[in-house]
Amino acid sequence: MTVLANSTRFFKEEETQWEVVGEGVQRQIVGFENRIMMVNVKFEKGAIGPLHNHHHTQVTHIAAGIFEVTIEEETRILKKGDSFYIPSNKIHGVVCLEEGILIDVFSPMREDFIK
Protein backbone atom coordinates (compact mmCIF):
# COMPACT_ATOMS: atom_id res chain seq x y z
CA MET A 1 0.00 0.00 0.00
CA THR A 2 1.25 3.45 -0.88
CA VAL A 3 1.05 5.97 1.94
CA LEU A 4 -0.15 9.32 0.61
CA ALA A 5 0.60 11.26 3.77
CA ASN A 6 1.21 10.76 7.46
CA SER A 7 0.86 13.00 10.46
CA THR A 8 3.29 13.21 13.33
CA ARG A 9 3.10 10.49 15.99
CA PHE A 10 2.16 12.85 18.80
CA PHE A 11 -0.42 15.61 18.79
CA LYS A 12 -0.13 18.65 21.05
CA GLU A 13 -3.15 20.94 20.94
CA GLU A 14 -1.16 24.12 21.55
CA GLU A 15 1.22 23.30 18.69
CA THR A 16 -1.47 22.69 16.06
CA GLN A 17 -3.21 25.46 14.13
CA TRP A 18 -6.98 25.76 13.86
CA GLU A 19 -8.20 26.36 10.30
CA VAL A 20 -11.37 28.39 9.65
CA VAL A 21 -13.66 26.21 7.50
CA GLY A 22 -16.95 28.09 7.74
CA GLU A 23 -18.73 30.83 9.63
CA GLY A 24 -18.23 29.97 13.30
CA VAL A 25 -16.48 26.67 12.48
CA GLN A 26 -12.79 25.78 12.85
CA ARG A 27 -10.96 22.51 12.15
CA GLN A 28 -7.80 21.08 13.73
CA ILE A 29 -6.29 17.91 12.23
CA VAL A 30 -5.14 15.59 15.02
CA GLY A 31 -3.64 12.64 13.17
CA PHE A 32 -3.94 10.66 9.95
CA GLU A 33 -2.62 8.15 7.48
CA ASN A 34 -4.26 6.60 4.41
CA ARG A 35 -6.79 4.49 6.30
CA ILE A 36 -7.89 6.81 9.11
CA MET A 37 -8.04 10.46 10.18
CA MET A 38 -9.06 12.25 13.40
CA VAL A 39 -10.14 15.89 13.38
CA ASN A 40 -11.31 18.31 16.08
CA VAL A 41 -14.05 20.66 14.89
CA LYS A 42 -14.93 23.70 17.03
CA PHE A 43 -18.37 25.32 16.63
CA GLU A 44 -19.70 28.61 17.91
CA LYS A 45 -23.35 28.62 19.02
CA GLY A 46 -25.57 28.78 15.95
CA ALA A 47 -22.86 27.61 13.53
CA ILE A 48 -23.91 25.09 10.93
CA GLY A 49 -22.19 22.07 9.43
CA PRO A 50 -24.33 22.02 6.26
CA LEU A 51 -25.92 18.84 4.93
CA HIS A 52 -23.44 16.97 2.73
CA ASN A 53 -22.16 13.50 1.96
CA HIS A 54 -18.82 11.84 1.15
CA HIS A 55 -17.53 8.34 0.49
CA HIS A 56 -15.75 8.18 3.87
CA THR A 57 -17.23 6.35 6.84
CA GLN A 58 -17.40 8.70 9.85
CA VAL A 59 -17.76 8.35 13.60
CA THR A 60 -18.14 11.55 15.65
CA HIS A 61 -17.86 12.07 19.40
CA ILE A 62 -19.26 15.20 21.04
CA ALA A 63 -16.50 16.46 23.33
CA ALA A 64 -18.39 19.61 24.36
CA GLY A 65 -21.64 21.40 23.63
CA ILE A 66 -25.06 20.46 22.28
CA PHE A 67 -25.77 19.70 18.62
CA GLU A 68 -28.77 19.00 16.44
CA VAL A 69 -27.52 16.12 14.27
CA THR A 70 -29.21 14.99 11.06
CA ILE A 71 -28.33 11.74 9.30
CA GLU A 72 -30.51 11.10 6.25
CA GLU A 73 -34.13 11.68 7.42
CA GLU A 74 -33.45 11.35 11.17
CA THR A 75 -32.60 14.28 13.47
CA ARG A 76 -31.57 14.02 17.12
CA ILE A 77 -30.32 16.40 19.81
CA LEU A 78 -26.99 15.13 21.16
CA LYS A 79 -24.75 16.51 23.92
CA LYS A 80 -21.29 16.11 25.44
CA GLY A 81 -20.46 12.42 25.77
CA ASP A 82 -22.76 11.29 22.94
CA SER A 83 -21.56 9.99 19.56
CA PHE A 84 -22.93 9.22 16.12
CA TYR A 85 -22.00 7.04 13.14
CA ILE A 86 -22.38 7.99 9.48
CA PRO A 87 -22.11 5.27 6.84
CA SER A 88 -20.46 6.06 3.52
CA ASN A 89 -22.38 8.41 1.18
CA LYS A 90 -25.19 9.25 3.64
CA ILE A 91 -26.43 12.86 3.83
CA HIS A 92 -25.58 14.42 7.21
CA GLY A 93 -25.07 17.76 8.95
CA VAL A 94 -25.20 19.54 12.31
CA VAL A 95 -26.44 22.73 13.91
CA CYS A 96 -24.61 23.85 17.04
CA LEU A 97 -27.13 24.70 19.79
CA GLU A 98 -24.49 25.32 22.49
CA GLU A 99 -20.84 26.11 21.71
CA GLY A 100 -18.94 22.88 21.38
CA ILE A 101 -16.33 20.59 19.87
CA LEU A 102 -16.84 17.50 17.73
CA ILE A 103 -14.15 14.85 17.31
CA ASP A 104 -14.51 13.35 13.83
CA VAL A 105 -12.88 10.09 12.77
CA PHE A 106 -12.87 9.24 9.06
CA SER A 107 -11.96 6.11 7.15
CA PRO A 108 -10.24 6.41 4.80
CA MET A 109 -8.56 9.74 5.51
CA ARG A 110 -10.05 12.94 4.08
CA GLU A 111 -7.46 13.78 1.42
CA ASP A 112 -9.37 17.01 0.73
CA PHE A 113 -8.44 18.23 4.24
CA ILE A 114 -4.70 18.04 3.53
CA LYS A 115 -3.24 20.99 1.69
The residues spanned by each domain of the chain are: 30-110
Residue 2: pLDDT over 90: no
Q: Are 103 and 40 in contact (CB under 8 A)?
A: yes
pLDDT digits (tens, 9 = 90+) for 71-113: 999 999 999 999 999 999 999 999 999 999 999 999 999 999 9
Give CA 26 to chain center in angstroms: 10
pLDDT digits (tens, 9 = 90+) for 15-30: 889 999 999 999 999 9
- Taken in order 25, 90, 69, 57, the sign of the CA dihedral is negative
Which CATH code, of 1.10.10.10, 2.60.40.1930, 2.60.120.10, 1.10.3720.10, is assigned to 30-110? Answer: 2.60.120.10
